[in-house]
Amino acid sequence: MYIFDLHCDLLNNFYKNPNYDFLLNNGHISEVGLNLGGYLAQCFAIYLPPEVPKNNSYFFFKTQYNLFCKIIKKSRTLRQAKTKQDILKNAQNGKISAILTAENADFLGGDIKKLKIAENLGVKILGLIWNNENCLGYPNSTIKNINNLPLKNFGCAVIDYLNHSTITPDVSHLNYGGFNSVANILKKPFIATHSACNEIFPHPRNLTDEQIKKIANSGGVVGINFYSKFLNGTNTTTIDDIIMHLKHLIKTGGQDVAALGSDFDGIDCNLFLKNCSQMPILADALIKNFGTLLAEKICFKNALRVL
């Protein structure tokens, strides 16, 4: 069973430690692990932390992009993919596709031209925000007035631009009002790369049934996050937690909306998987609970379709 994971934070590990080993390490994602895990594709997020000064944010983005290129160059099996056709060709050649994404579009600095540059570099998914206000809009919040704020003017301009772009917007971390701005402006599928279901476990980061339906109706997908704080509120994630959220996701939005967004190397809970090499354990559980055809949709086919 192929695996297509919509979100990981490996690049941030390299930024913190230039000597970080991609081949084999103690984190969640490694070259050895991706091969053992049966991966078709892994999305690698360029994460922009809020402490980076705004006048340095684009340089920070390019620095992490260079780390991404360095990983690809040194890897024996990883190849960048910019299209679905790239992914299929890589698989035919026994290679795993690396897909570049961004988390927190504040690196744009209010300049739409930088979005075109990011597109040319191969960014395929744009996470509009993280947990802080940025030049596009506002993060999810327990404060109702903040949570209901729409995207800022620049955020709306970005979404309008994405209507004619190969980049897909990612609404994970976005507030309720900003989500609705995306749904109203965008005329193509949009996604939540690493989220969960608010109906199963209430959390500001989780999606309501209304939001799940809007993503599904757009033709997009939701990658279920593996972080226990979003799944059950404890420090431990089990297979049953993943299955429960997937079942609700499918019940609410249909079979084509379900995908995987592990948030590997960005979560620190006790996880039923040691790392990405053990993803076949999850795949087997999905087959047992959903059957092979639906398990394939969850594991890779839905994400591949949206790209």
d(CA 209, CA 270): 27
Q: What is the pTM of this model?
A: 0.97
CA 107 to chain CA mean position, Å: 17
CATH number of the domain bearing residue 164: 3.20.20.140
Q: How many domains, in total, are found in the chain?
A: 1
Q: CB-hemisphere CA count at 13 Å for 44?
A: 32
pLDDT value for 172: 98
Q: What is the pLDDT of residues 140-191, one digit of tens each?
A: 999 999 999 999 999 999 999 999 999 999 999 999 999 999 999 999 999 9
Q: What is the domain extent for residue 245?
A: 3-306
Is 6 within 8 Å of 189 (Cβ atoms)? no
Residue 101 reports pLDDT greater than 90: yes
d(CA 222, CA 298): 10
DSSP letter at 300? I
Residue 15 reports pLDDT greater than 90: no
| Buried residues in 65-78 as b, exposed as e (16+ CB within 10 A) | bebbeebeeebeeb
Q: What is the pLDDT of residues 78-93, one digit of tens each?
A: 999 999 999 999 999 9
